[in-house]
Amino acid sequence: MVDMRNDRAIAGPAILFLCLGNICRSPLAEGAARAAFARAGIDATLDSAGTGDWHIGHAPDARAQAEARRRGVDISALRGRQLRRADFYDFDLILAADASNLRDARAIRPTDATAELKLMLDLLPERGGQGVTDPYYGEDDGFAETWDDVDAVAAALVAEFSPSSG
Ligand code: 4NP
């Protein structure tokens, strides 16, 4: 998709990853997607946000940063922000980590929103309807599972938006 913003042509899809705090699942998803789109040579606008406001301006959770680094991706420069109404027009696709995030997003979704809104795991045929488990309150190995989930979502997005896939 190509559209014009601020007199600049922006090529490629604009995708927002959404979770609760914007310090664990959605920054990992953004990091995995940034790496996957870069590897594929596809331009994309990628961002993440939380439905909650507790971590505005905060770097990702140290355990999330460590897991991303272990997978070769540096997410340390990302900063938390809260989902806003403009996101429903600025992005083509908003991907929520779980059903609760999806419900909260639907509650503030403007009626004329242009962004499609669905679950991250809806991108994976065998995982549709499922949520990405929140690793925040769990053990460190939960972050490896989160990475595996969001990395699979990133691969599905790259496949969907590859020029050859039509
Ligand atoms: P996230 O995890 O939604 O994957 O970023 C959470 C991070 C922080 C909180 C909850 C979930 N919190 O309550 O502060």
**pTM of the predicted structure, to 2 decimals:** 0.93
User: 74 catalytic, yes or no?
Assistant: no
Q: How many CB atoms lie within 10 A of CB 53?
A: 12
- At 128 the pLDDT is 97
- At 10 the pLDDT is 52
- At 139 the pLDDT is 86
- CA within 13 Å, CB half, 131: 14
Pocket test for ligand 1, best of 26, 100, 103, 134 (most atoms within 8 A of CB): 134
- At 70 the pLDDT is 98
Q: How far, CA to CA in Å, does 25 sit from each of 4, 110, 113, 118, 162?
A: 30, 24, 24, 15, 24
Pocket lined around ligand 1, Cβ cut-off 6 Å: 19-25, 50, 54, 134, 136
Kind of pairing, strands 2-5 and 14-19? unpaired
Pocket test for ligand 1, best of 18, 23, 98 (most atoms within 8 A of CB): 23
Ligand 1 nearest-atom number relative to CA 28: 4
Q: Please tell me the distance between residue 126's alpha carbon and the centre of ligand 1 in angstroms.
A: 26
Note whether 15 and 33 are within 8 A (CB): yes
Supply the residue whose CA is at minimum distance from atom 3 of ligand 1.
20
The residue annotated as part of the active site, out of 25, 34, 63, 149, is: 25
Phi-psi region for residue 152, left (φ > 0), alpha (ψ -120 to 50) or beta? alpha
Q: What is the pLDDT along the chain (166 residues), one digit of tens a residue?
A: 545 554 444 579 999 999 999 999 999 999 999 999 999 999 999 999 999 999 999 999 999 999 999 999 999 999 999 999 999 999 999 999 999 999 999 999 999 999 999 999 999 999 999 999 999 999 878 999 999 999 999 999 999 999 876 5
- At 110 the pLDDT is 98
**Calculated CA dihedral for residues 12, 71, 16, 91, nearest 10 degrees:** -10
Distance CA 127, CA 133 (A): 12
Supply the residue whose CA is at minimum distance from atom 12 of ligand 1.
21
Nearest Cα residue to 75 out of 146, 139, 26: 26
Q: How many CB atoms lie within 10 A of CB 128?
A: 11
Nearest Cα residue to 46 out of 31, 58, 59, 62: 31
- Which amino acid, residue 10? I
The residue annotated as part of the active site, out of 47, 61, 87, 134, is: 134
Supply the residue whose CA is at minimum distance from atom 9 of ligand 1.
21
- At 163 the pLDDT is 81
